[in-house]
């Protein structure tokens, strides 16, 4: 059974912001002649990488709500220019919307079991996606999403 990770999506106010950032970074990498892969850099390397790479995802917390996920394709530890160990999590650039699930702020990432992960939104959530992001956020703050 795959294991997931959960992390705060710092700097994004909506899933749309995240999608725009991903597209921008992929375009930047293409123009620079680098491989067009999306990754997230983190300081800690997951010790349970094999379980994560068995189909796990990175769930993003945006504005105190888990709102989406991206499949984790690879985990690549490296040492940066200052000699500090870090890790690139290679992500599928496709963002999959999930049911909203409240989360308090935390630092770094955490493991997230499939039982605790929110379900994908799917077709039933199409009407929710048509709402403006600000309206979705206000409804979530009121506990209506």
How many domains is the chain built from?
A: 1
Task: Return the C-alpha torsion angle 140, 10, 57, 33, nearest 10.
Answer: 140
118-133 average pLDDT score = 71
At residue 94, the pLDDT reads 96
| C-alpha span between 131 and 28 (Å, rounded) | 30
Instruction: Report in angstroms the alpha-carbon separations of 16 from 8, 12, 41, 96.
Output: 15, 8, 21, 11
Gap between the Cα atoms of 32 and 49, Å rounded:
30
| pLDDT tens per residue across span 76-118 | 999 999 999 999 999 999 999 998 899 998 888 999 999 999 9
pLDDT at 145: 61
Q: What is the pTM of this model?
A: 0.85
Domain limits for position 54: 4-141
Is the sign of the CA dihedral 119, 122, 124, 127 positive or negative?
positive
pLDDT tens digit string along 45-67?
999 999 999 999 999 999 999 99
Terminal Cα-to-Cα distance of the chain (whole angstroms): 28
């Amino acid at each position: 059974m795959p294991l997931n990770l959960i992390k705060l999506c710092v700097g994004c106010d909506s899933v749309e912001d995240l999608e725009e950032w991903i597209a921008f970074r992929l375009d930047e990498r293409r123009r620079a002649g680098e491989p067009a892969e999306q990754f997230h850099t983190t300081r800690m390397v997951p010790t349970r990488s094999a379980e994560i790479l068995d189909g796990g995802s990175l769930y993003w917390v945006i504005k105190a709500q888990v709102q989406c996920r991206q499949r984790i394709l690879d985990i690549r530890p490296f040492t940066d220019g200052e000699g500090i160990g870090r890790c690139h999590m290679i992500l599928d650039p496709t963002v999959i919307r999930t049911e909203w699930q409240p989360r308090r702020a935390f630092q770094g990432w955490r493991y997230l079991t499939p039982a605790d992960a929110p379900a994908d939104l799917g077709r039933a959530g199409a009407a929710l996606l048509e709402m403006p992001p600000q309206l979705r956020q206000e409804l979530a703050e009121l506990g209506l999403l």
